[in-house]
């Protein structure tokens, strides 16, 4: 049977579920001013410390009239921690139109993996690779196109091409609070979040405390709040806090002192499991790997059961392999837009599982509804330890998008198995 072809590529500007923030400016001098920040931007491309997030929808018209689509999006802290520069739609729509559209139009949809890898490895005439956000969105659209051409759901295509099995149960969902870290915890508990609350602990004075006392108090509050308002005594979510390197700041990245402090946090969280993301930021990949590896080893040697999550300087698939190979984290965040093509997200989850490292299929609040839906299909086909509820910082919307897509996949698969269609 003749394979279906792509006959056109349609592009449109879009908005994301959050903002682009200049992380360097926020760490150095910017002052929060309502929903924005006062101060001058530092990172190249930013016109202000906080600006509206942008996306590009990539729509592939198939020869039978169906339209497959994905969204190009980049992380909140673009241009920081070794990431690609700020992603503005007006700058990248012409690039997709000029260089990627000719690659796609007329292509037969035989294999997601092959075409995704071709897009992900595409080199511009300048010698540069495509921006990670472009690779991210175009490969989403390719996956959807292959699924539509084969009358499958996207998770089934991934499972078929990567020799996995679509999960028959939900993947645990991690919700993030943004700065509203108390009211949003209540929302998370009421909705039965598996992992909570992220917390956005990105400031020593206001959020961590000069001796770490504010974070310790916050963790104790979460523990007590779970017991106070949960409707099921068996409900015991994991506490997962992203500290953006601030623990390292107050202890001068001294691993022994950090171990002592993390033991205190473990006791504060008990009986809930505690995960700490980004405990230090060494501002360079090799140094970051070595620091996290040493911290994990010392925590394990001292019987401290706080799980360390790698994030900064662990952006690409090669970075993830490097950190996983060296035990630099009990868990690694696979920040989906930073990996470029979604084929890399698939490979990264499978690699972490092979190495016995926890795979956290994350992403950013600054994605779109569409990129979040596609990511659910990747997770259901690869079964990471957890998946991020995204986009946005409002809790309800991101959780709804991820949870509902997951339940659709489960229902469709159940129907197919019941009718012996798989």
Please tell me the number of Cα atoms within 13 Å of 110 on its side-chain side.
6
- CA 393 from centroid of its chain's CA atoms: 13
Neighbours of 322 (CB within 10 A): 17
Contact between 26 and 46 under an 8 Å Cβ cutoff? The reply is no
End-to-end, the C-alpha distance of the chain in Å comes to 20
For the annotated catalytic residues, the residue numbers are: 335
CA distance 25 to 261: 28
Ramachandran region of residue 420, left (φ > 0), alpha (ψ -120 to 50) or beta?
left
d(C-alpha 95, C-alpha 75), whole Å: 20
Write out the two tokens for 137. Answer: 């969105």
Which helix or strand (DSSP H or E) is residue 255 part of? helix 255-269
CA dihedral (298, 299, 304, 305) positive or negative: negative
With tokens 């990567």, the residue in question is 162
Q: Tell me which H or E stretch contains 11.
A: strand 6-21
Contacts for 411 with CB less than 8 Å, ≥ 6 apart? none
Of the candidates 366, 367, 349, the one whose C-alpha atom is nearest the C-alpha of residue 358 is: 349
Gap between the Cα atoms of 331 and 385, Å rounded = 9
Cβ-Cβ contacts under 8 Å for 357 (sequence gap 6 or more): 324, 327, 329, 330, 331, 332
How far is it, in rounded angstroms, from Cα 177 to Cα 21? 16
Closest CA to 66 of 141, 178, 165, 177: 141
Cβ atoms 334, 349 nearer than 8 A: yes
């Amino acid at each position: 049977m003749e394979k279906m072809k792509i006959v056109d590529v349609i592009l449109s500007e879009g908005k994301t579920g959050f903002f682009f923030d200049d992380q360097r400016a926020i760490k150095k001098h910017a002052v929060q001013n309502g929903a924005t920040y006062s101060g001058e931007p530092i990172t190249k491309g930013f016109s202000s410390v906080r600006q509206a997030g942008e996306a590009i929808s990539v729509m592939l018209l198939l020869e039978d009239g169906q339209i497959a689509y994905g969204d190009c999006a980049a992380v909140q802290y673009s241009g920081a921690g070794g990431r690609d520069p700020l992603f503005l739609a007006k700058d990248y729509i012409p690039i997709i139109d000029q260089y990627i559209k000719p690659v796609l139009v007329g292509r037969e949809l035989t294999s997601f993996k092959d075409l995704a890898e071709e897009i992900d490895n595409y080199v511009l005439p300048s010698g540069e690779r495509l921006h990670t956000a472009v690779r991210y969105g175009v490969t989403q659209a390719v996956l959807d196109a292959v699924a539509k051409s084969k009358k499958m759901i996207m998770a089934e295509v991934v499972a078929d091409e990567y020799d996995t099995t679509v999960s028959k149960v939900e993947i645990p969902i991690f919700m993030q609070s943004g700065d509203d870290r108390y009211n949003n915890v209540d929302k998370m508990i009421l909705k039965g979040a598996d992992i909570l609350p992220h917390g956005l602990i990105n400031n020593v004075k206001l959020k961590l405390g000069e001796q770490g006392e504010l974070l310790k108090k916050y963790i104790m509050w979460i523990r007590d709040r779970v017991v106070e308002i949960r409707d099921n005594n068996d409900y015991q979510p994991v506490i997962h806090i992203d500290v953006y390197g601030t623990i390292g700041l107050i202890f001068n990245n001294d691993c022994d002192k950090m171990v002592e402090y993390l033991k205190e946090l473990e006791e504060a969280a008990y009986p809930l499991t505690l995960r700490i993301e980004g405990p230090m930021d060494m501002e360079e990949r090799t140094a970051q790997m070595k620091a996290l590896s040493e911290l994990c080893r010392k925590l394990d040697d001292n019987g401290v059961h706080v799980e360390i999550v790698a994030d900064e300087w662990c952006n690409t698939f090669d970075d993830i392999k490097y950190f996983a190979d060296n035990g630099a984290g009990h868990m690694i965040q696979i920040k989906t837009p930073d990996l470029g093509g979604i084929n890399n997200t698939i490979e990264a989850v499978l690699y972490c599982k092979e190495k016995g490292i926890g795979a956290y299929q994350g992403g950013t609040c600054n994605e779109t509804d569409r990129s979040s839906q596609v990511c659910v299909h990747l997770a259901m086909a690869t079964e990471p330890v957890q998946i991020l509820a995204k986009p946005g910082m409002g809790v309800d919307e991101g959780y709804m998008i991820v949870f509902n897509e997951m339940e659709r996949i489960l229902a469709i698969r159940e129907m197919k198995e019941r009718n012996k269609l798989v």
